[in-house]
Amino acid sequence: MGVLRIGHASLKVMDMAAAVQHYEKVLGLKTTMQDKAGNVYLKCWDEWDKYSLILTPSDQAGLNHIAYKVEKDADLDTLRERIEAWGVKTEMLPEGSLPATGRMLQFRLPSGHEMRLYAMKEFVGTEVGSTNPDPWPDGLKGAGAHWLDHALLMCELNPETGVNTVADNTRFMTEALDFFLTEQVLVGPNGDMQAATWMARTTTPHDIAFVGGPRSGLHHIAYFLDSWHDVLKAADVMAKNKVRIDVAPTRHGITRGETIYFFDPSGNRNETFAGLGYLAQRDRPVTTWTEDMLGSGIFYHTGDLVPSFTEVYT
């Protein structure tokens, strides 16, 4: 029962043609449909539902909403009761509010980000099928991303006023949605303030993450690749296509992931992420990073923080 995995991200983009070219040519996604409002829906080759990314025309970049898929439609009613008992207002959007998708439970996290839960989305299958499949399809473009892996949301954190929506979100996700904590960064005079958390429902190091900042927003959406070699190839693809790279290929201490960060044409940050890191389980000890080792936690090789990594987001 409950949340299975990340389902899709809905992003605002300022130049639809440039955005579609980026996600198709650089990351290797495939457009599956476009609606009358001009929204474009895309999926990765190893995903079986109709889309995992929605691009919507806008005059600014950023996140519309993040959505997670639940196991059964009845779970939406159960989770609605838990969410509202927690003190968060919800709205049940009818089937068809998004194309090819069943009813959706809509609400806002304590940080203000819109989240949706749904149980049904049209099944279209992976590009290699499910009977005697090849390991990868012919005609892959760009980085050949397998699937949308996770999202990292920036959350308002102000120690002077006591506002800490990282901690609020973490508690909400644990108590209302049954996520579990895998890693955290603790800061402050007593070393007990949650400045960042990584949370899971699956067996990967994180299905969602929260990091403190001056305002709430989107830090990045991440796409899974097989290996370090694929991360390097993705960097080559980005260089060939003159993509704005934020952080060149490196390793995280946190999650142990192999990574590269870059921006789509509107300024939304993307990540290509490889390496499962470790087996995330509810009884696995939570990994804690202290404030003095934050640099190594984020960029393990150098231990140096890149200013744009925490200061620039949509």
Quote the CA–CA distance of 255 and 266 in Å, as a whole number.
28
CA 211/CA 311 separation, integer angstroms: 11
Which residues are known catalytic residues? Answer: 150, 206, 220, 252, 261, 271
Closest CA to 123 of 51, 64, 74: 51
CA 170-252-140 angle, 5° bins: 100
Q: Using alpha carbons, select from 280, 272, 268, 190 the residue that is nearest to residue 15.
A: 268
Contact status, residue 221 vs residue 52, Cβ threshold 8 Å: no
Sign of CA dihedral 240, 246, 250, 252: negative
Whole-angstrom distance, CA of residue 52 vs CA of residue 63: 14
Largest CA distance in the chain: 59
